[in-house]
Amino acid sequence: MCNSMNGSDLRISNCNYDASVLLKRVRGLLARDDQLLGGAVQRSALMRLPGPNTQHVMTQIEVLPKFGVRATNFLDLARESV
């Protein structure tokens, strides 16, 4: 299920995926945008449970632009993929 909100040059989507479908989608996006992608930052949140245990709560992965790539290139790609 996806909910989308559209702006003039920005499209924000909130989607729920089965893990295998999400991985397939992410691999496709990474392959498509490979020439624009630089490093990545991963942040994870863990919750302490009683005793020595912890539980994973959330992971956020930010893929950063390649140095020297203009932001307008991302907007052009977003327009083409709609």
Domain with 71 in it: 2-81
pLDDT at 27: 93
pLDDT at 52: 92
- Per-residue burial over 36-75, b if 16 or more Cβ lie within 10 Å, else e, is eeeeeeeeeeeeeeeeeeeeeeeeeeeeeeeeeeeeeeee
Q: Are 31 and 3 in contact (CB under 8 A)?
A: no
What is the structure's pLDDT at 46?
92
Query: Per-residue pLDDT averaged across 53-81, rounded?
Result: 73
Instruction: State the SS3 of 43-77.
Output: EEEEEECCCCCEEEEEEEEEEEECCCCCHHHHHHH
The residues facing 11 across adjacent strands are 6
Average pLDDT over residues 33-47: 91
Q: What is the number of structural domains in the chain? A: 1
